[in-house]
Chains A and B, each alone.
Chain A
Amino acid sequence: MSMSVSRVARAVAAKDLRIELRTRVVTNQVLPFSGLVMIMFAFALDSDDVLQRVAGGLVWLATLFSMFILVQRTFAVETYDGALDSLRVAGVQPQGIFLGKSLALFIELLVLEVVLFISAVVLYRVSVGGLGAVLLVTCVLCATAGLAFVGTLYGGLTAGARGRETLLPLLLLPVVAPVLICATRATESAFESGGVTVGEGWAWVAVLATFACVFGLGGLLSFGSLIEE
């Protein structure tokens, strides 16, 4: 009678992405916001050399800032009209909800990162070689998986709580610090900025993959008790 976890996950992810496609909040608000952040960084740093050197870090910072908005949004649609409660009343496995929401967030973040990396190439004059591109894609996939898992986990925790807009960044920023460190270093390797080579980047990707696995498992185990009120 009950649906399998993967079917629930696909249904939840499809629902979230359909909502985003129809409301166009991501395309019309979050993407322009992150583009603006990239321009503001250039104003603040005011030097082509510095920008080229720190481009990797700026892309990931802009990703984190935009992620808070995305996470907030993905759970705002759930708490509005008690949608999350209805899902639970329907007897759906919380693991399915967790995976589904993480998948939707993962795809939204990927779209965001593609735009940010293109703007880094255009605005900050970075370039990527062949092997660098392989490293970059792997790094983006691992880092984004980790961000999607922790984002869903902590978003679910603060969903419906008073003052969640301010609480979420306080909880999330320390947790995603390893992602910022490792993804930035790996991206710098991919861009070969500051004299680092592409080969040095892979150690960081290993940490990113570990992070994603740890919080993916942690989320599967704990999401049920987080959203249960």
Chain B
Amino acid sequence: MTTATVNSKGVGTPTTRIYGALAIVALGWVLLGGLFFTPEDVVQGDAVRIMYVHVPTAWVAYLAFIVTGIASACWLIGKKHSLGFDRVAGASAEVGVVFMAMTLLSGSLWGRITWGTYWVWDPRLTTTAFLFVTYVGYLAVRGLGGSPEQRARRSSVIALLAVLEIPLVHFSVVLWRSLHQQASVLSPDGDIKMDGLMLFTLLFGVFGFSVLFAWLVSHRQRIMAMQDALQTNALDAAVSERLREAQV
């Protein structure tokens, strides 16, 4: 059984504290660099600053869903069916959904300023939106209740089915757009010739958000471990209480 301990200093470990400190430093730099130090874009003006949040959050969201897929596969394949994998999968999906929401939001704001529209039926945008909804569904499946083992079994299968689903969605949307109408707007990645400081800030953003992801996931899965332990222990306590009653 999992035992989770809480000390008076909080739930951090030396590792999570390092992640946390690195994330604060890196994101502090991105904040200053993105808003003040980097120059305006020749074409996009100040709107280019959205990129310093948009690209890293998109990267983290995709990373999160890859982690969820791998952790789910590990749970399913592993002989011991260690619940640790399931909790990492769940924590990663939760963080991924939040970051994907931020990506969609910052992307549509950027699109409004740059393209004049919040949304275009670009394959990448559409697939991203489907990825978001799919993982919202995944989290709903995790919340169905039952024992941690039931949750792990259901959600690992759902996560692996999502790995099948997303390429199919992407491929059919690509086919749909390419046969239906020519791309009428700037391609989202464009040919942006990037100034050195801009590139540095962007890469630092990717680093900072990745560390933030690691920090969030490691804390979240610890909380999940405690919730599971609470559920299991509470059940054990109830059973032993009933047994004691029976003996009287």
| 19 further A-B pairs in the complex, CB-CB below 8 A; given A171-B137, A174-B134, A177-B172 | A157-B141, A157-B158, A167-B144, A170-B133, A170-B136, A170-B140, A175-B165, A178-B168, A200-B179, A203-B175, A207-B172, A210-B168, A218-B160, A218-B161, A225-B76, A225-B157, A226-B153, A226-B154, A229-B150
**Smallest CB separation, A147 vs chain B (Å):** 13
Chain B residues contacting A229 (CB-CB under 8 Å) are 146, 150
Contact A170 B172 (CB under 8 A): no
Contact A174 B144 (CB under 8 A): no
Q: Does B192 contact A (CB under 8 A)?
A: no
Find A181's partner among B150, B158, B165, B176 (CB 8 Å cutoff).
Answer: B176
Which 4 pairs show the lowest CB-CB distances between chains A and B? A178-B172, A171-B137, A161-B144, A181-B172
29 A–B contact pairs at CB < 8 A? Answer: A157-B141, A157-B157, A161-B145, A162-B144, A163-B144, A167-B137, A167-B140, A167-B144, A170-B133, A170-B136, A170-B140, A171-B158, A174-B130, A175-B161, A177-B172, A178-B171, A181-B172, A181-B173, A200-B179, A203-B175, A207-B168, A207-B172, A215-B161, A215-B164, A222-B160, A225-B153, A226-B154, A229-B146, A229-B150
Bound: A185/B161 CA distance, A: 25
Where chain A touches its partner, the secondary structure class is: helix
Bound: A129/B165 CA distance, A: 33
Q: Does B24 contact A (CB under 8 A)?
A: no
**Smallest CB separation, B229 vs chain A (Å):** 22
- The residue among A173, A177, A203 with the most chain B CB atoms within 10 A of its own CB is A177
Chain A residues contacting B144 (CB-CB under 8 Å) are 158, 161-163, 167
Contact B145 A178 (CB under 8 A): no
Find B169's partner among A167, A174, A215, A218 (CB 8 Å cutoff).
Answer: A174
Contact B173 A185 (CB under 8 A): no
Size category of the A interface is 20 to 34
Contact B154 A157 (CB under 8 A): yes
B residues apposed to A, CB below 8 Å: 76, 130, 133-134, 136-137, 140-141, 144-146, 150, 153-154, 157-158, 160-161, 164-165, 168-169, 171-173, 175-176, 179
Bound: A215/B164 CA distance, A: 8
Contact A153 B161 (CB under 8 A): yes
Chain B residues contacting A157 (CB-CB under 8 Å) are 141, 154, 157-158
User: Which residue of A is nearest B131, CB measured?
Assistant: A174
Known contacts A161-B145, A162-B145, A177-B169; decide if A207 and B150 are in contact (CB<8 Å).
no
Contact B168 A211 (CB under 8 A): yes
Contact A167 B133 (CB under 8 A): no
Bound: A170/B134 CA distance, A: 8
Chain B residues contacting A158 (CB-CB under 8 Å) are 141, 144
Bound: A207/B164 CA distance, A: 13
Find A207's partner among B134, B141, B145, B171 (CB 8 Å cutoff).
Answer: B171
Within 8 A of B (CB), among A116-134: none
Contact B130 A177 (CB under 8 A): yes
Bound: A161/B137 CA distance, A: 14
Known contacts A162-B144, A170-B140; decide if A214 and B153 are in contact (CB<8 Å).
no
Find A222's partner among B150, B161, B171, B175 (CB 8 Å cutoff).
Answer: B161
Chain A residues contacting B176 (CB-CB under 8 Å) are 181, 185
Chain A residues contacting B169 (CB-CB under 8 Å) are 174, 177-178
User: Which residue of A is nearest B166, CB measured?
Assistant: A174
Bound: A200/B179 CA distance, A: 9
Bound: A163/B145 CA distance, A: 11
Find A185's partner among B137, B157, B179 (CB 8 Å cutoff).
Answer: B179
**Smallest CB separation, A173 vs chain B (Å):** 8
Bound: A163/B146 CA distance, A: 13
Q: Does A49 contact B (CB under 8 A)?
A: no
Bound: A167/B136 CA distance, A: 11
Bound: A228/B147 CA distance, A: 13
Contact B157 A226 (CB under 8 A): yes
Question: When each residue 183-222 of chain A gets 1 if its CB lies under 8 Å from chain B and 0 otherwise, what string results?
Answer: 0010000000000000010011001001100110010001
Q: Does A182 contact B (CB under 8 A)?
A: yes
Bound: A207/B175 CA distance, A: 10
Bound: A21/B133 CA distance, A: 36
**Smallest CB separation, B147 vs chain A (Å):** 9
Chain A residues contacting B134 (CB-CB under 8 Å) are 174-175
Contact A174 B133 (CB under 8 A): yes
Known contacts A177-B172, A181-B173, A210-B168; decide if A222 and B157 are in contact (CB<8 Å).
yes
